[in-house]
Structure 1
Amino acid sequence: EFVAFCAFHHRLMDDPIVFPGQPGASHSHEFMGNTTADAHATLETLLSGDTSCDPVGDRSSYWVPTLFTADDQPVAIEHATFYYLVHVDDPTTVQPYPLGLKVIAGNAKATQPDEAAHIKWSCLGAPDSSTGEIVTCPADSKLELLINFPDCWNGEDLDSADHKSHMAYSGAGACPATHPVVVPALQFKLRYATSGAPGMRLASGPGYTAHGDFFNAWEESALANRLQCLHKLEKCGPAGYPQTSELTNHLYLPMITR
């Protein structure tokens, strides 16, 4: 695996994938990574923009719906870790994302918890929730959200009409024939500045509507170098070199406030 630590940067009612060119058309999102990301984001603007990520070679944009308390106050994301993993049997088959690839995981329109297969709410250090519901943690713990992204690409399209059909999840250690290109399995791990409380909701609705968006703008050389970590099944830190699991799990960027 390899990781990027990308601090929260800004909050907007924009969605560069679902509502491109339409500022204010979306529910509220928390943006991490690229500091210029908004409704008008393109690959070119991202590549020329700054980043809140370590490493700085990751100029991608990552976003999730804003979490609100019962009295409609936004809850800050304290730590945001983006893991790039391998979920196929042959790690040497993993290829880099194409520049400009747009990927969504989770279902903003889910109507029941069992539609939340790829998202998990949990408490720091505790087993993941399997219900898709926001959990209330012990007072000395923190609420976490895990989002797992598809790791198979159709090899042709950077996006699709439903923003999902060009991607698929691997199964039984391989990608389906319809989506033969293996890419890194991205995982968002977000820690909130709360232990959770009754009545919390996302801008998109209940906890099971949690979803994440990824707009790839990794510098090609930086991403290519880190693929070696996946091919060799090494655990690499943000610098792209093998590090101890303890370092990887506890090194966080301080939150940037705006």
Structure 2
Amino acid sequence: MYWSFIALALVAPSADALLRFACSQLVTERLDPLVNPGVAQSPHLHQVVGGNSFNISMDPNNDPSSLASCTSCTFSEDFSNYWTAVLYFRAQNGSFHRVPQIGNELFEQANGGVTVYYSPPNSGKAKVTAFKKGFRMLVGDTSCRNAACASKYRQLTYTCLQTPGTRTGETKDMPKKPCPAGIMANIRFPTCWDGTNLDSPDHKSHIAYPSSGTFESNGPCPSTHPAQVPQLFYETVWDTRKFNDKSLWPTDGSQPFVWSNGDPTGYGLHGDYVFGWKGDALQKAMDANCNINCPQLKSQQIPAGNKCTKPAIVNENIDGWIDELPGGMPITSS
């Protein structure tokens, strides 16, 4: 299990290592410069963290680390952008309310956002190639509504938090019962790269999963994608606690949470990434096998990251009780 690896990393930094840090909320708006570059209103709402150079186009020829003036992440040389869809609660009368985010138990000071991990190979023997300037990728499929579709993307899961520290019982679909401490969405990206292309038309073909096994079990990369890159992993904790009263849930017994992309199943979980580390900072951290803390990197306190925000370009109501998902996104279960 992935979390047994993390537990080992906490007690045995010489054997296993990972970068783990908070990225507070930068902006929540209907932009997607990866899938819909230049489009002022992308089809669905996203929550974005990282450098404040995030913009409508994110030209791959422009280096985010040279354009950003701040980052919401605690490693202050990381001006990358990380984004996901936004979770909503659907009431019995059909109205919607945005579910707030909270920092996980390790980063309670964070203003929502995402906990980010970069993990080198578990064995400590293989050379990991850090992402390069201009690199970007997408994992998951916003249109997935069943297990067969979601199975193409390994390790996109949910944890129904019994306590803030729960790290077992991951599921591919949305939890079907109230979660006492919230719902954590877990997004793990593929870890093999073709070694040439910084992007691809579908933002996925230049990356791949190991040809057998998993990243955690040191599975080999396929010959088409021979370069091993760090495992990028997002954890987002959605504070569903105030919606846990079952009398508020659908009378047919179904669960009430829906993604901003219109997905009530959870199978459409997805995440986007645009690399923006300054210089070779990430490669240095990977080469040093940094474990949690990394003296090779500059860092800032979480309150400083909380101050790095930017106004939304798309002016629309996304909070309070609303009659439809932002952008009028329809809900589809198949």
Using structure 2 for the length normalisation, give the TM-score.
Answer: 0.67
User: Structure 1 residue 208: deviation in Å?
Assistant: 1.2
In structure 2, how many angstroms separate the alpha carbons of the residues matched to 1:238 and 1:74?
35
SS of 1:92 mapped into structure 2? coil
User: Structure 1 residue 113: deviation in Å?
Assistant: 3.0
Tell me the residue number matched to 2:232.
186
In structure 1, how many angstroms separate the alpha carbons of the residues matched to 2:132 and 2:236?
25
CA RMSD for the aligned pairs?
A: 2.4
Deviates more, 1:174-183 or 1:109-118: 109-118
Structure having the higher Rg: 2
SS of 1:150 mapped into structure 2? coil
Percent identity between the aligned chains? 26
In structure 1, how many angstroms separate the alpha carbons of the residues matched to 2:269 and 2:52?
22
Deviates more, 1:188-197 or 1:218-227: 188-197
Normalized per residue, the structure richer in strand is: 1
In structure 2, how many angstroms separate the alpha carbons of the residues matched to 1:66 and 1:51?
21
Closer, same or farther in 2 for the Cα pair 1:238/1:18, shift >3 Å? farther
Tell me the residue number matched to 2:52.
35
In structure 2, how many angstroms separate the alpha carbons of the residues matched to 1:183 and 1:155?
9
Closer, same or farther in 2 for the Cα pair 1:138/1:3, shift >3 Å? closer
User: Structure 1 residue 161: deviation in Å?
Assistant: 1.2
Tell me the residue number matched to 2:41.
24
In structure 2, how many angstroms separate the alpha carbons of the residues matched to 1:26 and 1:217?
25
Closer, same or farther in 2 for the Cα pair 1:24/1:188, shift >3 Å? same
Closer, same or farther in 2 for the Cα pair 1:218/1:25, shift >3 Å? same
* Counterpart contact for 2:188–2:232, Cα < 8 Å: yes
SS of 1:53 mapped into structure 2? coil
Matched residues, number: 245
Closer, same or farther in 2 for the Cα pair 1:126/1:4, shift >3 Å? closer
Give ranges in structure 1 of 5+ residues lacking alignment.
242-250
In structure 2, how many angstroms separate the alpha carbons of the residues matched to 1:42 and 1:190?
27
* Counterpart contact for 2:160–2:183, Cα < 8 Å: yes
SS of 2:96 mapped into structure 1? coil
Tell me the residue number matched to 1:122.
159
User: Structure 1 residue 130: deviation in Å?
Assistant: 2.2
Matches within 5 A, 1:27-106: 27-43=44-60, 44=62, 46-47=64-65, 48-49=67-68, 50-70=70-90, 71-79=95-103, 80-87=114-121, 89=123, 91-106=125-140
What CA deviation, in whole Å up to 9, does each residue of 1:129-180 have, x standing for no partner?
32322454443x1211101101111111111111110100123421110001
In structure 1, how many angstroms separate the alpha carbons of the residues matched to 2:127 and 2:184?
31
User: Structure 1 residue 12: deviation in Å?
Assistant: 1.5
Deviates more, 1:218-227 or 1:144-153: 218-227
Using structure 1 for the length normalisation, give the TM-score.
Answer: 0.85
* Counterpart contact for 1:104–1:211, Cα < 8 Å: yes
Tell me the residue number matched to 1:10.
27
In structure 1, how many angstroms separate the alpha carbons of the residues matched to 2:295 and 2:24?
16
